[in-house]
Structure 1
Amino acid sequence: MRAFQLSTLGQAPAFQDVTLPPPGPGEVRLAIAACGLNFADLLMVDGKYQEKPALPFTMGMELAGRITAVGAGVSGFAPGDRVAVFAGQGGLAAEGNFVANRCLKLPDGMDFRQAAAFQIAYGTSHLALDHKARLQPGETLFVSGAAGGVGLTAVEIGKRMGARVIASVRGPAKMTVATAAGADHVIDSDAPDLRGQLKALGGVDVVYDTIGGPGFLDALRATKPEGRLLAIGFAGGEVPQVPANLLLVKNLSVMGLYWGGYLAFRPEVLTASLATLAGWIAEGALTPHISHSFPLDQVAEAMACLRERRSTGKVIVEMPEAG
């Protein structure tokens, strides 16, 4: 079969012909239906992501499909089961073998496209806002990069948790998207004086920052006493240096979140979060926003769409037999 693989760091991934072995102990084989793309995929190409799989590897961190075979020692799963998998790699191919304990059975109300789109983006936001920041009903949440694949989910989940949400995006089209996701106030990120704008809206209890750079410090200075700041990513390319004296004077907390890291030390927290989210999506309480969908043979264009920030929400790749 063909698989979209990275062979050399810093060079463009390409399709390779690979032979897939039978699933090993503790693994299941999937007929992959859809794969969600993430900013982390772009970082992996340059070797700048936290995880660095051995080369060559098939790209695609999160996926969904139907189980076709199970390896020795697997219980709770059977051929025919529809599952989502956060695999870290292997999603951009027609088939793959994946560790069974990373699989999540899909509720009847969730399709493969939704399942490929929700895990990292929604999982990151739910874990950050619920488990880390303990966001409370009535608090004010500020989300930077709020029209992106992760930021948009923070808007939606923040509203689901009862917060007043302020979203920062670039341009009128993305402002419309953030408003549709539930933002109460939308700020154009190109406008000056972010700190002043946030203070004029009453200040912030929780900051969910995906961009980094000067905007993080502006939001910090507009945060109320006992506020919590979540460092989710640095899509702007600049890692902010936080002045510790401000943390002391205002009793602030700055927290990092590496969602995938929970698989190593507290996987039950991540699994419980995903199960909650899958239930909300199946009930219609959350709706994954998929702005672009590409067939597998156009995966290079899909990655360019992500890199050039043409997407609002999620970019997914669908396999020819997806259904």
Structure 2
Amino acid sequence: MQALLSVAPGGPETLELTTLPDPEPGKGELLIGVKAAGVNYPDTLMIRDLYQIKPPRPFAPGGEIAGEVLAIGEDVAGYEVGDRVLALTGHGGFATHMTIKAPTAVKFPQSMPFEDAACFIFTYGTSYHALKDRAHLRADETVLVLGAAGGVGTAAIELSKAQGARVIAAVSSQEKAEFCRKIGADEVIVYDHQMDRDAQKAFSGEIKAMAGPLGVDVVYDAVGGDYAEPALRSMAWNGRYLVVGFPAGIPKIPLNLPLLKGCQIVGVFWGASVFRDPAGHTQNINDLFRLYGEGKIKPQISATFPLKQAQDALVKLADRSVLGKVVVSMP
């Protein structure tokens, strides 16, 4: 097997393509021939030891895979060799083979390509949990998506539109703005890269102008930093501000704002929710497969890299130039 390994803390340039013996499945495990792996922001942090999960080295990044079952370990039922499965692995996905615990494998439809399956659960799972379980989004509401051209952002646009909501997409470039319009955003705002007080006021004013006099019902914030406060200032009464991520930094929020707005600041920790509510997670995954089959959602894959060039995929993600999703394909 081949694997792209993190052998020391650092950026993508520190990863090494390595040949290793093929693994064998242990008790309760499946051996997966990986066909494709999704690339997600935590991968860029994990190799630098900046993520809350720090696997022992050497390890391969890649927390989301799709492939075929090659072998089945002892005490595993419900799977056959050749089954097409996807899984959230945490790490290890940038490899041609890996073993996973059987209960983590999810069979996916024959009509879904491996590339779509490899970048399906993380982004859509996060955004569906956020909008359905945390925001309780309704069809007549307005959603503001910050970082709308990224993986979870594009999923949030598609899922909000599937629910019948109105979407304002906020992005950092005209290219990203056109991309968001193409996938269904009703309105688009291009915000400044440097968000000083004047830029914050202007950004908040643009949001309010597009949202109308009642304000934004749901803010989906996958950016954080200085973009958070002006978004919060645009909230409607009983609005829900979803804290999804903060690649621009952890914001400092004046707590008088949620009081004056009568709104909620709601944390979105999808990974923990999967373990705390497995039945709810299963229902959500079934809902997402149904929406995919109906053509209402589809991963927006903008680039595919071979395993030997997966470092380039991580660079592209880290510099926030990605439109939608990036996938690593295996030889």
- Provide the TM-score with structure 2 as the length reference: 0.93
Q: 2:158 touches 2:296 (CA, 8 Å); kept in 1?
A: no
Q: How does 1:201-280 map to 2 (within 5 A)?
A: 201=210, 202=212, 203-236=215-248, 238-280=249-291
Q: 1:53 — aligned with what?
A: 55
- Which of 79, 82, 105 is equivalent to 1:80? 82
Q: How does 1:40-119 map to 2 (within 5 A)?
A: 40-119=42-121
1:17 Cα deviation after fit: 2.6
- Which of 277, 295, 319 is equivalent to 2:330? 319
Q: 2:196 — aligned with what?
A: none
Which SS does the other structure have where 2:4 is aligned? strand
1:257 Cα deviation after fit: 1.4
| 1:113–1:66 Cα change, 3 Å | same
Q: 1:38 — aligned with what?
A: 40
Distance in 2 between the 1:305 and 1:198 partners? 28
Q: 1:25 — aligned with what?
A: 27
Q: How does 1:272-291 map to 2 (within 5 A)?
A: 272-291=283-302
Distance in 1 between the 2:264 and 2:217 partners? 11
Amino acid at match of 2:161: K
Q: 2:305 touches 2:327 (CA, 8 Å); kept in 1?
A: yes
Q: Which runs of 5+ in 2 are unaligned?
A: 194-198
Distance in 2 between the 1:17 and 1:101 partners? 28
Q: 2:23 touches 2:98 (CA, 8 Å); kept in 1?
A: no
- Give the number of aligned pairs: 319
Q: Which runs of 5+ in 1 are unaligned?
A: none
1:275 Cα deviation after fit: 2.3
1:174 Cα deviation after fit: 0.9
1:260 Cα deviation after fit: 1.7
Q: 1:194 — aligned with what?
A: 203
Deviation readout 1:56-80 (Å, 9 max, x if unpaired): 2121100100111111121211111
| 1:262–1:24 Cα change, 3 Å | farther
Question: Which segment is superposed worse, 122-131 or 192-201?
Answer: 192-201
| 1:181–1:52 Cα change, 3 Å | same
Q: How does 1:86-165 map to 2 (within 5 A)?
A: 86-165=88-167
Which SS does the other structure have where 1:29 is aligned? strand
Identity rate, percent: 41
Deviation readout 1:157-207 (Å, 9 max, x if unpaired): 111111100000122211111011110000011294111111112120000
